Amino acid sequence: MMNLKLKVIASFVDQKDTVIDIGCDHAYLAIYLKKNNLAFDVYASDIHVNALNRAKKNIKEANLKITTYLSDGFKNINNEHIDTAVIAGMGADTILNIIKNVPLHIKKIIISSNNHHALLRKALYHRKFYIKKEEVIYEKGKYYVIMLVTRNAIKENFLSLKYGKSKNKEYFLYLKKKEYDVLKKIPKRKIFKRIKHKKNLFDLNLVIKRI
């Protein structure tokens, strides 16, 4: 079923895009995009045969034609028509491994990592990708960060790399509370650890002020 996260991802897709959903699982996103004519063409892939079989079954039931690939990231996908990739619902390490082999014809990547967003932003920056926009949504007790990434070596400031470009104030207030809770538990003698978390709080206050 389409959840809010997948709907926001879909809103980052343009009608001219030829999209592949890497790690499609049930293929809900691919089916939604195809059914509603939200992209020029749609493909779906997954590393696990069971997931891909689920995807194929759902595609068939929706009476749609969507080519699927059994593939670890881009490894078995040889299709130069594809210019946009979605990589969502995985950890930052897996996403970065997939992006290592991103073919040149992929001009746009929509990413939603389950963790380590600052690390992911910095790694993308070092690989000369540019995060054009970010949206943070709250669903079923959890925040999800969705990034629209292009190929552009544009200089970024440290606050954007650390906390992103979303304008979701509740999210930053939530991060601030988490940071306070961590700081409260650090013994006074652990000076360097305390300085690090105090700096995070200072930076979060700057981000919140900016909204």
Give the C-alpha separation, 1 to 187, whole Å: 46
Q: How far is the CB of 89 from ligand SAM (least distance, A)?
A: 3
The DSSP-derived string for 63-97 is T---EEEE-STTTT---TT--EEEEEEE-HHHHHH
Q: What is the DSSP letter of 39?
A: S
Q: Is residue 132 helix, strand or coil? A: strand
Mask 19-48, x = binds ligand SAM (CB under 6 A)? Answer: ---xx-x-------------------xxxx
| Interior/surface letters 23-48, b for 16+ CB within 10 angstroms, e for the rest | bbbbbbbbbbbbeeebbbbbbbbbbe
Pair 44, 55: CB distance under 8 Å = yes
Closer of 99 and 207 to ligand SAM (Cβ):
99
- Give the shortest CB-171-to-ligand SAM separation in angstroms: 18
For ligand SAM, the closer of residues 76 and 152 by Cβ is 76
Residue 2 or 173 with smaller CB distance to ligand SAM: 2
Q: Which is nearest to 95 in space by CA: 66, 127, 70, 68?
A: 127
- Choice between 88 and 149, CB closer to ligand SAM: 88
**In the complex, least distance from residue 126 CB atom to ligand SAM, rounded to whole angstroms:** 21
Residues 85-124 interacting with ligand SAM (rule: CB under 6 A): 88-90, 94, 98
In the complex, the smallest distance separating the C-beta of residue 74 from ligand SAM, rounded to whole angstroms, is 8
Site residues for ligand SAM, 5-24, by CB under 6 A, read 6, 22-23
How far is residue 31's CA from residue 83's CA, in Å, rounded to a whole number?
18
Burial bucket for residue 16 (CB in 10 Å: 0-12, 13-18, 19+): exposed
Q: Which CB, 5 or 121, lies closer to ligand SAM?
A: 5
C-alpha torsion sign, points 199, 205, 206, 207: positive
**58 contributes a contact to ligand SAM by CB under 6 A:** no
Closest distance between ligand SAM and the C-beta of residue 67, in Å?
15
In the complex, least distance from residue 105 CB atom to ligand SAM, rounded to whole angstroms: 18
Map the footprint of ligand SAM across residues 182-211, applying CB under 6 A: none
* Residue 19 structure tokens: 């999209």
Contact footprint for ligand SAM (CB under 6 A): 6, 22-23, 25, 45-48, 51, 72-73, 88-90, 94, 98
